[in-house]
Structure 1
Amino acid sequence: MLYQRNDCCRFPPWAAHMQVLVCHWGRVLGWGACPQLGCPGDIVSASQFSLHLWTSGMFFSKIKMRETLKGQASMIIFAFMLPCAGCALLVSALGPTRVDALADTNVTLAVSFSGTPDPAVTWFKGHLPVVTWTVGSGVVPDVAQSQREVLRLEPNGSLTLIKVPVEYSSIYTLEMTKSGLGTACLNFTLRVYESFQNVTVALLPERVQEGTEELMLRYGMQQGVVERQLWFFNGRPLPDNLRYSVEPGSLSIHRPDRTDAGRYSVSLSNPFSSETAHVNVSVLYGPDEPRIRVRPAQDFYTSGDSLTLSCQADGSPRPTVAWTFAGQTLSLGQTGVLGLSHVQTAQRGRYTCTLLNHVTGAQRHKSISVHVYERPPGYATCYVQSEDNVHLQYGCRWSGGTPLARLSFPDLMNASSGLEEFTLTVKASRHLDGKSVTCEGVHPVGGSKCNVSANAPVDFLPAVRTHVDSEGKIVVSVSCVSEASPPALVSWYRGGEAVVSDGTEHDISEDTTRLNIRHHNVSMLLLHNLTCSCTNPLGRSIGHLHLQEPSISAFSLFPHRDGTVVTLTWEVPPTSIVTGFDIQMSGPDLPSEDGRRSPNTYRTILPKPGSARSADILDLDPKALYRFRVVPRALMAEGQPTASHRIGPGEGLSGPAIAGIAAGIPCSIVVLLLLCGLVYMLLYSGRMKSHQARYPVSRAANKVQTTHTQTPQNLLPGGPKSPPDYNRLHQTPSSLSVAPPSFVPPPPVRVATTV
């Protein structure tokens, strides 16, 4: 923040008080020179003043170190903030320096000063001094002679204006001077306003015609001082346009036209008053090109109708309108409306309207012709038909009206025509296939046309639908519809023979487009091929059909996110005989017929009608494995089931099972090694026992010749071995890794002794 006062010393009053205090007590205590805030002409900011205060603090600190008692006394005295004088002369405003005043009221340009008790005061109005005085002196302030009734100086140097007139708006400057302290200055801007009275707006010229050079709007008032003026057009601020020129006290419109007509307003304001004045501007023009309207708007009118003619044109003032017919004036006024009721053919002719601007004298004329006839109602209609399925008969109808409408078929190269309704029979030929033939209806008021084309039957596909009737029979409905004009006649064949309605097994609709076949047995419906033939005079189209057994062409499964719901969708071949579907599932909750649970056992969980093509299966276990398929059915006959779709976790080992196997493999190897070691120890123990000491025998026994016969199964390499004694080892066969061998006693031995 900067503290500035024109050309005088510029720093805040509180900063001066602080410096005065420091200077005064510095001299009293003998400190010497004091720090300075600045000099006249400097600009002192808050940061600069903070630096001065810090410098003063450093000054106090040095003195305190040298003279402690004096420093303590100086701080106590500084706390009381005693004022001082003689350091600087300061002057400041006790309010805003820009003052707005209402005329004939008192206003004071209030000031305050410090630094000296008796400065010399001079007030300037612009560059002219109007008041001089020395504060505190007993001399009366010197006020200019012509302004003594208005100007008054206050004891503190403030200037008061008594019932200030408007002409006292000016810049006022206060200058305070004190010898040795310089000069302090302060500027005030005083603006004096009057309240608005009787504001009006005038037009120059008063009557404006479109295309004139310029229109001026000038405002005037009985009294008032304008600080701001705003112009409005129809309640909105005046648009930015080069055609408008705004000057103090006026608005000019260059080359005004009809768009400039409206309400203009000027808003005048100052700090104490505001006023708005209005004026309506009219621009003379016209009449423009007349506009004639007929209601109801028609090309002609029938006898007895009523109609209204209106003639209007833009103009200011509004022009008058006169209607004339056959030299007679029928109406005169500003509405321009002429009503004709129950018109007759004698009232057809030319009607003229004349428009007149009675101010400018300009005129315009315009005419219209009125036709009165009896027109045939509606529009012409066309058709084509055949009576013998060989010829084509084109027809057109548009009846009524006066005179009667004349009808013809020019596209058929025939000059004949007829009234109201006309038919023309031609022999069917290939070039007429798809050709658009136009019927023209001619009437004095206007014409009407219609188009018709003959078309041979186009290729088509028979459509098959199957249902079960109330007798429990399968009903196969075959439809053969081909686009053709005239409509095609349909003939039915089965296995090369014509099919006729018999009321039991075969039934043909009245329009011959649908054949119903009924039977209990599906296989009987599949014996023969069906053929339908669509013919008209322009051609023939044949459709072949072979019925199929119940089947499904496509089958899909869509699981939901949570795994508890699946949606099954399927399609059926167009010629398949299907009366229903069986939705089958295999899973954990579906036991087989023998009560056992098998993952390949399917059970029907949901029947669907033959028209169904989707099914939703609910409440499934997302952790279980399910399989689904759809079986098509025709009553009791089942078709080939669809391929199955599965949902659920994979069919292989689960994660925990695989982890268990992986952990069990090394354990199994360790156990197997232990078992092998145990078997080896058993065999080794048995072999050691076979070498133990036997009872002594006689020498004669050594000469005994022994014959020992054994079975081949007991012969082992390295001599005979005894089987292990399981009872002695206290082992059971179940504790071994393999079943123990069965023990077979040796056969009897024959011994012969020779002495």
Structure 2
Amino acid sequence: MQTLFSLVFVLLVFITGNECDLSISPKEPVSVEALVGTNVTLSVSHGGVPHPEVMWFKGSLLVAKWTIGNGSVSGVASGVFKPELNGSLTFMNVSLRYNGTYTVELNNIGEEKVSATFYLFVYDIIMNVSLHTGPGDAIEGQVSFTLYYSTMQGEAKEVRWFFNGLQLRNGSHYSISGKNLTINQPSRNHTGRYAVLLTNPFSSETQHWNITVLYGPDTPVLKVSPTKAVFVSGESLFLSCRAEGEAPPSATWLFNGESIATSSAGTVSLTNVKTSQSGVYTCVMINTRTEATLQRNVSIIVYESPSGRPLCSVQAVNGGGALQFLCLWPGGAPEAQVSFPSLSANASGYSNYSITINNIQSLKGREIICKAKHPLVQTQCSVIPRGPVDFLPVILISMSQDEQTLVVIQCSAKATPQALVHWVKDGNLLQTGPKYQISTNTTQLFIHDFNATTDLDTYTCTAINPLGNKTVDTTLLVPQISNSSVFLSSDRTEVTLKWHVPLTSVITGFDIQMKGPELSIPSQPKLSIASDFRTIQSKPASARATAVSGLDPKCTYYIRIIPKAGRTAGEQSEQHRIGPAAGLSGAAIAGIAAGVPCALLILLIVLAFIYCTRRGGVPRYPVSRAVEKAVFSQSTLNPHRLLRARLKPPPEYRHQQPERSAHLPSMNSSVRMATTV
């Protein structure tokens, strides 16, 4: 029994669910038209669910949301939208800005949403309609003539144009677009009364306009002065146009369909003409009484020679097995005719001509001439095919913000055609990759993230074209200075430092270092002395000179240059000494000046003593050590007190031993003793 009740309950729920599916009306989109300032309702109805959730959207923007039977409403603009109990939405005092597409969605939890769409069109009363025409009159033969309307208030739902009471439609004669009516190629038959009728659901307005299409004189007679078939760029010419008519017609001129300046007599003066002025000139005659027009054309041709001179070149093709010769002389009117008579007697082209030759060895070192012909001038150019000639590589170094060094080796060999360069390192052909990159024209090798420790090596570039090849080795060197020099200013407060580096030395910059007192400026002197070298300037790799100012003329400085490759320091330059000349100090010099006269005086006293001793009958035997010691003591006292500066004391001489002999010492012994003293 319990199972039966359960089955009945499920069946009732299933039947009830089918009978209570949420539905909405209308099913199809509905257009609603409203007058500005009125209230308008977008009406819906629903069934199946008593209290569904309602959401109104303008486009994708949610403008209102509520649940039927619930008093709370969200997303409703104050004073504009009014939610209805049945899910409808009412606009209060609707304005033009609420034109648009609106969608309502009804939703019941657990069920699929249902929706309806409305197109709301808000109109205002049409007032103050006026008609206008394009600039100028309607003239027979024109491309088009336009009539358009404007309103002070209100927009039309439907626009209809009329000509002499007959409604106009789009076709070959008339084009209706937006607010415009265009008369295509107007003729005298389009003269008449035009009207526009504007309507919307709440008003209508009509406006009229009379249009007269001007047409008509006899065939005009044209004249070009001077009478020439061709004019040269920079010349001047004169155009005139006359025609018979009742009364004499006036003339206007067109150039390639566009109006140009015309005198009151119907003439046109063109001065300093250019090739862009070549074309068709049209004289349009207007009869002032009949308002009729007629036109006639005349063609003007202007020549101009190509600018500059022709350019000859040659390039390798077919894998280097052939040479393609090119002759380029663009511009000019008409185009110049160019040819290579020595390569082909009959072939030629215009402006940009080329010819391919397979027998290339016979052309090596031979001048190949291109003949260039133009109606106004004839000239020529030439090219000589050659293999690569000797060249020197160029080293370029730069450093990025993250201090990575880039070294570029450039091998540009003069060759015709341009040589292709192959790069080799350690016997291996280099290819473009993370470390090495080769430029598009192959003349440059880029070495990225250069390491002065591991990347210093010999790089070989071989320039090859179909007519030969040249090979050059480039050995990159550590950062170094080949020589340097200094130049001191006249006031000895500034020094100019100059240096040179080897051509293949890899350098990204220089540190200028100095040892000595700190540099000073007049307002803030700094005289403390640094005991070691310090960096006072950092210069780029291109620098070869610098100036250091603020030197003290009385002080001594030492200066040197440290070349760098990225973060790696190279070999330092020689040290340059800057300051007063080396030698004795002022006190030493003063001591010497005072001591020399005293020493001379002592020497005279000693000589006098020796002389007196010899005249007084001094025995001629060796002087005892006591006497000799006394002589030395007397002669060495005063000099020690007089020579006080930085002079060294006289040396301690060793006394010679007396000679061992049975004979008495002779006079020579006394002389030797005196000399020793």
| TM-score between the two structures when normalised by the length of structure 1 | 0.38
TM normalised by structure 2 equals 0.41
Larger Rg: 1
- Which structure exhibits the higher relative contact order, with contacts defined as CA atoms closer than 8 Å and separated by 6 or more residues? 2
